Amino acid sequence: MIYKNLLSSINNRVNIISINRPDKLNALNIETFKELDKAINLAVSNSEIRVIIITGFGKKAFIAGADIKEFANFTKDKGHELSHLGHKILSNTIENCPKPIIAAINGYALGGGLEIAMACHIRVTSSKAKMGLPETSLGLIPGYGGTQRLARLIGKGRALEMILSARMINADEALNYGLVNYKVLQEELIPFSVELANKIILNSPNAIKNAIKSVNAYNQPDSEGFNIEMKEFSSCFETEDFIKGTKAFLNKEKPEFN
Ligand code: DAK
């Protein structure tokens, strides 16, 4: 399968999918997002594949967020519609994927990029990576489940601090917070992730599928949180702060919120 914005390779039962928009720091436009959805669904239906690794092409970015240029003009309705689509892809395709998905975080994992990494089953980071949910600096809040998944992974206090300050954390902090499972040198990121995949491959695919489903059942009481997030997220669009925040980024300026 040929993709416009992804690279996909299969080697010894491991499918490595790389987001490939390096000149935009692998920012996730809708086309790329839909391709990612398609690539993962294809991996699920391919019996040759047992584990999926998602990474970013190049050394600088995993995914530097959703494509700000694309979403800067969205209305509330469009924001709501796409938030639903995004939630569906992150929950159904990634988090509840019957095959394990490892995020190999090779650089910036910001906004929607970190949200994708958090929906994956396991996260390995390069020591050079930086992670954050900077949406509030754009007059927005995380819209792909980030408010719920971050709090679940690192606790409410740290999640609130990261989201409210829009601060990026480095790989050591991410490891210390429990946001990632492992931190390795950049050049070891893919070999280490493949080694981890190979350990998983030794185990029963059926048991793995059932284990993922069971561990994810722990999320169920929080589904109302996702609904609240979708509502609050879409209400940010068209606001003065959102227009100011996205415009400032696109003009390479710092926004001044009142
Ligand atoms: N979107 C679009 N372009 C981006 C981008 C992004 N998120 N991140 C980087 N780029 C582009 C830059 O504009 C620049 O393009 P050119 O000017 O060269 O054409 C190129 O990538 C290189 O970036 P920089 O020149 O800025 O590189 P630096 O090394 O100086 O800085 C940086 C790296 C990662 C600190 C910086 O690029 C940065 O702050 N990037 C933006 C990070 C960010 O705020 N990401 C968005 C978070 S908000 C939605 C659901 C979810 C979301 C939105 C909508 N719906 C359901 C509707 C999610 C929102 C987010 O993810």
Q: Examine residue 126 and state whether it is found in any structural domain, yes or no.
A: yes
Q: Examine residue 22 and state whether it is found in any structural domain, yes or no.
A: yes
Q: Examine residue 40 and state whether it is found in any structural domain, yes or no.
A: yes
Cβ-Cβ contacts under 8 Å for 235 (sequence gap 6 or more): 76
Query: Which CATH number does the domain housing residue 119 bear?
Result: 3.90.226.10
Helix (H) or strand (E) holding 132, with range, is: strand 130-132
90 lines ligand 1 (CB under 6 A): no
- DSSP conformational letter for 28: B
Q: Average model confidence (pLDDT) for the chain? A: 94
Q: What is the pLDDT of residues 85-116, one digit of tens each?
A: 999 999 899 999 999 999 999 999 999 999 99
Sequence letter at residue 24: K
Instruction: Tell me the sheet residues that pair with 108.
Output: 61
CA distance 211 to 213: 5
The verdict on whether 95 is a catalytic residue reads no
Q: Examine residue 116 and state whether it is found in any structural domain, yes or no.
A: yes
Q: Is the distance from CB of 185 to CB of 155 less than 8 angstroms?
A: no
Q: Examine residue 244 and state whether it is found in any structural domain, yes or no.
A: no
Among the residue ranges 143-152, 196-205, 226-235, the one predicted with the least confidence is 226-235
Q: What is the pLDDT of residues 20-60, one digit of tens each?
A: 999 999 999 999 999 999 999 999 999 999 999 999 999 99
CA dihedral 144, 184, 208, 40 (to 10 degrees): 50
| Cα 159-162-163 angle, rounded to 5 deg | 85
- Candidate of 20, 33, 68, 234 to mutate for ligand 1, largest count of ligand atoms within 8 Å of Cβ: 68
> What pLDDT band is residue 233 in, cutting at 50, 70 and 90?
confident
Average pLDDT, stretch 158-184? 98
Q: What domain count does the chain have?
A: 1
Among the residue ranges 24-33, 141-150, 234-243, the one predicted with the least confidence is 234-243
The verdict on whether 135 is a catalytic residue reads yes
Q: Examine residue 65 and state whether it is found in any structural domain, yes or no.
A: yes
CA-112 nearest atom, ligand 1? 61
Average pLDDT, stretch 230-241? 87
Supply the range of the domain harboring residue 178. Answer: 6-187
C-alpha atoms less than 13 angstroms from C-alpha of 72 in its C-beta half-sphere: 13
Q: Examine residue 83 and state whether it is found in any structural domain, yes or no.
A: yes
Q: Examine residue 170 and state whether it is found in any structural domain, yes or no.
A: yes
